[in-house]
Amino acid sequence: MYIFSFEKLEVWIESKEFSKYIYEVTSKFPETEKFGLISQLRRASISVSSNIAEGSARRSYKDKAHFTSIAFSSAVEVLNQLIISFELNFISETDYITLREKLESITNKLNSLRNYQIDKSNEIK
């Protein structure tokens, strides 16, 4: 089976695993949040890995960097929703801290990837 380039990226692997953890944590949210924070958190967390994957298929490093930026923005959106979820007591402090730490690792890697893509884009000019 062919392995696509994004599947080899540590940041994609981490963000995919992060989404699975978000699904697990949000399964404990109140049913009233089914179309609220549960849906938002799940979609935003999946957006991180999806944009990494989509960006990897782009031809130019500038386009790749654009999708990496979108992935970073989605990660920050998830952080905002986690803060609200924690303040509403939908998630435990332990889960909140774990998720923040995982998100910090992902955003650090996204920053590094974007910087690399921008540098490569500037080299080509």
Q: What are the pLDDT digits (tens) for 44-75?
A: 999 999 999 999 999 999 999 999 999 999 99
Which residues have a Cβ under 8 Å from the Cβ of 66 and sit 6 or more positions away?
Answer: 55, 58
Residue at 48 is within a domain = yes
Query: Domain span at residue 91?
Result: 9-124
Give the single-character DSSP code of 45. H
Residue 119 lies in a domain: yes
Cα–Cα dist 82/66, whole Å: 25
Q: Is the pLDDT of residue 125 over 70?
A: no
CATH of the domain at 31: 1.20.1440.60
The Cβ-side half-sphere exposure at 46, using a 13 Å CA radius, reads: 8
Looking up tokens 């509403």, which residue turns up?
88
- 105 part of a folded domain: yes
pTM of the model: 0.95
Query: What pLDDT, in 10s, does the model give residues 108-124?
Result: 999 999 999 999 999 87
pLDDT for the residue numbered 124: 79
Structural domain count of the chain = 1
